[in-house]
């Protein structure tokens, strides 16, 4: 089965679309461009005209929200529940306080110092969300950030809808979040797992994996990090402190029944630090954790292997598991 692919940038990250029917690529790309624009308008905290920013001005009032934002928020709340609050959508103010207050390409590296204060984030349970009526109330002063889950959810939705529309296999990659749907190529989709998810075409050491359905997500501290007053900061916030998570892991890659669940697990694993391998094993997930010193820890059926290019292994899609809160 011959496939075709195209790459571009959206949502502040690298986008990759691959289809098993080359004739569908142009129309599928346009559909994905339109979908990602809708997600950006609903979920971006860097656009004054986005729904998320409008909530900042709502002063806690109940507001109607679009279907896109409602579904993205439901995905974020699933992340909070499954991770026991480690993946929390109320980290917006904490991220802004760390200096991540604009599109990452515009974040000042080595800019003016920021005052780092240990302060738990407000917490996802303070959000009042009616999924049926599609209304949302966010307490005054609480800023949402759906970045940890929105891209993974958007990739899942896009892959499924494009596969149904064009009747072919589809891979959608948004940064480190990969979702596949429809009939896969004969050997499966080959996915490159590497340290830097912001530049998937780089020559960085990597491992290649094959999947046929579900999703794979890589979260880490390598791609979106910056320095202030000599201190290195990154975008994964520990809700318990409101600061960049202190973790031994540079990147964590997880496979799951959906890209969303894989992203929730990989992000939570970064925050959980040394407790992450045991937790991932309890959840029945397969994972690869790369430490800052280059040490690799694998969980489940992800085999131990050197960080060298060209190594490939296959995950049986029938064994890719969904998981429940622990």
- Asked whether the predicted pLDDT for residue 321 surpasses 90, the reply is no
71 to 26, 67, 130, 196: CA distances (angstroms): 27, 6, 11, 28
Could you tell me the sign of the dihedral formed by the alpha carbons of 283, 198, 88, 69, in that order? negative
pTM for the full predicted model: 0.88
pLDDT of residue 12: 87
Q: What is the dihedral of CA 246, 219, 240, 41, to 10 degrees?
A: 140
How far CA 292 is from CA of 47, 106, 225, 236, 251, in Å, comes to 34, 26, 14, 15, 8
- Do the beta carbons of residue 145 and residue 89 sit within 8 Å? yes
pLDDT tens for residues 139-148?
A: 998 999 998 8
Q: What is the pLDDT of residue 313?
A: 45
What pLDDT shows up at residue 234? 65
Pick from 197-211, 231-245, 280-294 the range whose average pLDDT is largest: 280-294
* Per-residue model confidence (pLDDT) at position 297: 94
pLDDT in tens, 175-194: 999 999 999 999 899 998 87
Per-residue pLDDT of 90-124, as tens digits, reads 998 887 777 665 555 545 555 666 676 778 999 99
pLDDT for 89: 96
């Amino acid at each position: 089965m011959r496939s075709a692919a195209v790459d571009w940038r959206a949502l502040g990250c690298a986008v990759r679309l691959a289809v098993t029917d080359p004739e569908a690529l142009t129309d599928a790309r346009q559909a994905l461009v339109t979908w990602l624009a809708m997600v950006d308008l609903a979920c971006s905290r860097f656009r004054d005209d986005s729904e998320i920013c409008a909530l900042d001005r709502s002063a806690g009032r109940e507001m109607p929200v679009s279907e896109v934002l409602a579904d993205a928020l439901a995905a974020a709340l699933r992340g909070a529940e499954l991770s026991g609050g480690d993946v929390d959508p109320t980290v917006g103010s904490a991220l802004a306080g760390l200096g991540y207050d604009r599109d990452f390409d515009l974040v000042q590296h080595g800019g003016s110092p920021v005052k780092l204060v240990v302060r738990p984030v407000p917490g996802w349970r303070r959000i009042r969300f009616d999924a049926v009526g599609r209304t949302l109330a966010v307490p005054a002063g609480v800023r949402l950030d759906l970045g940890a889950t929105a891209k993974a959810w958007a990739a899942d939705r896009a892959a499924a809808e494009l596969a149904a529309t064009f009747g072919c296999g589809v891979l959608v990659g948004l940064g480190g979040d990969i979702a596949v749907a429809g009939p896969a190529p004969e050997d499966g989709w080959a996915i490159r797992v590497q340290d830097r998810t912001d530049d998937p075409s780089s020559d960085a050491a990597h491992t290649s994996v094959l999947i046929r359905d579900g999703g794979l997500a890589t979260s880490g501290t390598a791609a979106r990090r910056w320095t202030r007053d000599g201190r290195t900061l990154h975008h994964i916030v520990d809700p318990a402190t409101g600061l960049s998570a202190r973790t031994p892991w540079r990147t964590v890659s997880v496979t799951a029944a959906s890209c969303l669940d894989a992203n929730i697990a990989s992000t939570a694993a970064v925050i959980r630090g040394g407790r992450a391998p045991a937790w991932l094993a309890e959840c029945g997930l397969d994972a690869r954790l790369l430490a800052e010193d280059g040490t690799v820890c694998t969980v489940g059926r992800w085999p131990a292997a050197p960080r060298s290019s060209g190594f490939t292994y296959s995950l049986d899609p029938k064994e890719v598991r969904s998981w429940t809160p622990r």
